[in-house]
Chains A and B, each alone.
Chain A
Amino acid sequence: MVDLSVDLGFLKLKNPVLAASGTFGYGLEFAPYLDLEELGGFVVKGLYYGPREGNPPPRLVETPSGLINAIGLQGIGVEAFVAEVLPKLKNLDTAVIVNVCGETEEEYVRVVEFLNGRDGIAAFELNISCPNVRQGGACPALDPGTTSRLVKAVKGTSRLPIIVKLSPNVTRVDEIAAAAEEAGADAVSLVNTFLAMSIDVLTRRPKLANVFGGLSGPAIKPIALRMVYQVASRIKVPVIGIGGISSGADALEFLLAGARAVEVGTASFVDPDASLRVIREIGEFCELHRIQRVEELIGKLETG
């Protein structure tokens, strides 16, 4: 029997596969299709403090092996989450991670303050890619200084571990990762979506009402993998790999590159139980190659 568990230091996962924020609703949407307790965990859709309206449609466009979305983080806010969703999640035997959003540094802190100490949350994932309304829409993720300040502010409040979710839309993602680590991040996860667009040549209009959106799906996997490798080579805190993972082999690439866990995102839209298939395929690979513990594979890329 293969031991699939991984230890993030602050959190033990029964296997290295989490469902990614923004692609797994609040978890409950998937209960008809899979046993949530078989997952290493899942990250719920990003929460601002209040409910959020999101962008006008069209919000989605499919591109080769990918999906560009501009949802605009529509969501129910923390109060409704705690009142209506969390009671149904808190007894699950799996790690429930809350993705935290904010239009300002204060809002991130308020979200964390509100959720601190609530039963059933294992960690926070800090979405530092939210546009900051006071900085002309620039997000904290774009700069080591703003990343560091935000992580310090949230760490000063949070009673739970903080995973900082990094944006790939930067020149040196390892610099941002190092800034997050230095500011006290317990882990980093990457990548969020790549800024992208698509145009209808007949109408000469952008296919998304928001013009720009975030590209996800298998199309981004090689770039995400390179970034995860760069970051894992640079920092000591655990790295969670994200980007186009839709099979066990994809997940294994990220583990070999140094990720201690992975998140499955867009694949869950195609197959609601895609994350379970990824877990099963990792197990089958380990069994076939007589690897007793999946942790033996982490960071074992041979470059010599």
Chain B
Amino acid sequence: MMKDPTARIENVERWGDYCLFSVETGEIAGRARPGQFLMIRISSQLDPLLRRPISIHARENGRLEVFFQVAGRGTEILAQKEIGDTLDIIGPLGKGFSTDERLKGMRVLCVGGGRGIAPLYFLAKELRACGASPLVLYGGNTAADIPLRMKFEEAGLPVICSTDDGSFGFKGFVTRLAAREIEAHSPAFLFACGPEAMMKAAARLAESRGIPAEFSLESHMGCGIGACWGCVKRIRRGVKEGWVKICEEGPVFPGDEIVWPEGGA
């Protein structure tokens, strides 16, 4: 991990609340793995104070791409940056998805909900490079919440979309689509990123079918480098259970280690 205080924004795309930056950031790009994240400074002033954790969406021609949704004041200010502006970035941080030889020749499901799609583009490309066959399931509330669908198609990555209101693709939750695909193709592995209720449902689904799975968790972070202990989630490993810093030991965890919060899904 390293700091680049002057990463230049080379391209910006926006779809409503969603925003994609392509950033020239030298060495950070070279080290990045799917599932890792960046800590991006919002303002050079004292307010907003903290960096925001933003998932790495892609590495294209040596540039890093980030895709995020405006979810508060920090991301709202971030989304207003333009081509030529610079970002102060720390990264790549955390542990990403497992994309090893084990998955060679295997069918793999990548399930993304809303902005949770962000790391799955980088992941699907990496999986394909490893010789796996990824299928991306991309869900959103409405057609406006799945703006990246063409990007997957253009990269030749198989993608099926769903919307909760039926305005595009499969009508219903993306986890229902996942259940259908699991019945049809029995994938060897499932990766997911999205709202907690969605991931919890996907985790139950994977567990009930005996499919190993990994999930990328989200949390507010103070520092992103393991110093503040603010971003914890409940993790169980064998008999040991406790609050684990997702910036350091995650944000990606195996499904059987995550203790999902009660309620929801």
Shortest distance between the CB of B27 and any CB in chain A (Å): 13
User: When the two chains form their complex, are residues A269 and B233 in contact, meaning their CB atoms are under 8 A apart?
Assistant: no
Which of A29, A64, A217, A266 meets B225, CB within 8 Å? Answer: A29
Is the beta-carbon distance between B229 and A74 smaller than 8 angstroms? yes
Stretch at the interface among B42-50, B58-66, B129-137, B153-161: B42-50
B227 CB within 8 Å of chain A: yes
Q: Does A67 contact B (CB under 8 A)?
A: yes
Task: Please tell me if the beta carbons of A64 and B228 are within 8 angstroms of each other in the complex.
Answer: no
- A240-285 with Cβ < 8 A to chain B: 246, 266, 268-273
Residues of A within 8 A of B3 (CB): 33, 271-273
Residue of A nearest to B248 (CB): A29
CA A220 – CA B223 in complex, angstroms? Answer: 19
A65 touches B46 (CB 8 A): yes
- Of A32, A246, A266, A270, most buried by chain B (CB within 10 Å of CB) is A270
Main secondary structure of the interface of A (DSSP, over half): loop
Residue total for A at the interface (Cβ-Cβ under 8 A): 35
**A206 at the B interface (CB under 8 A):** no
Contact A57 B227, beta carbon cutoff 8 Å: no
Q: What 1/0 mask marks residues of chain B from 202 to 243 whose CB sits below 8 Å from any chain A CB?
A: 000000000000000001111101111111110000000011
Chain B contact residue count (CB 8 A cutoff): 28
CA distance A45 to B245 in the complex (A): 15
Q: Is B229's CB under 8 angstroms from A57's CB?
A: no
- Contact residues, B1-47 vs A (CB, 8 A): 1-3, 41, 46-47
Among B41, B51, B222, point to the contact of A69 (Cβ < 8 A): B222
* Residues from chain B with Cβ under 8 Å of A24 in the complex: 227
Question: With contacts A67-B49, A71-B228, A218-B49 known, is A60 near B243, CB below 8 A?
Answer: no
Q: Which of A33, A59, A60, A65 contacts B47 (CB 8 A)?
A: A65
A249 CB, min distance to chain B CBs, angstroms: 13
A71:B227 contact, CB within 8 angstroms: no
Query: B230 near A266 (CB under 8 angstroms)?
Result: no
Interface centre among A24, A60, A246 (most CB of B within 10 A): A60
Q: Is B87 in the interface zone, CB < 8 Å from A?
A: no
CB of A55 to closest CB in B, whole Å: 8
Alpha-carbon separation in the docked complex, A231 to B247 (Å): 38
B90 adjacent to chain A (CB < 8 Å): yes
Give 1 or 0 for each of A65-81: 1 = CB within 8 Å of chain B CB.
11101010010000000
Determine whether the beta carbon of A60 is less than 8 Å from that of B220.
Answer: yes
Q: Which residues of A contact B226 (CB under 8 A)?
A: 25, 29
Residues of B whose CB lies within 8 Å of any CB of A are 1-3, 41, 46-51, 74, 90, 219-223, 225-233, 242-243
Provide 21 A-B residue pairs closer than 8 Å at the C-beta atoms, listed in order of the A residue.
A23-B227, A25-B227, A33-B1, A33-B3, A54-B229, A57-B232, A59-B229, A60-B228, A60-B230, A62-B49, A62-B50, A65-B49, A69-B230, A74-B243, A217-B46, A217-B49, A246-B46, A269-B228, A270-B50, A272-B3, A273-B3
Where the two chains meet, the residues of A that have a C-beta atom closer than 8 Å to any C-beta of B are: 22-25, 29-30, 32-33, 45, 53-54, 56-62, 64-67, 69, 71, 74, 217-218, 246, 266, 268-273
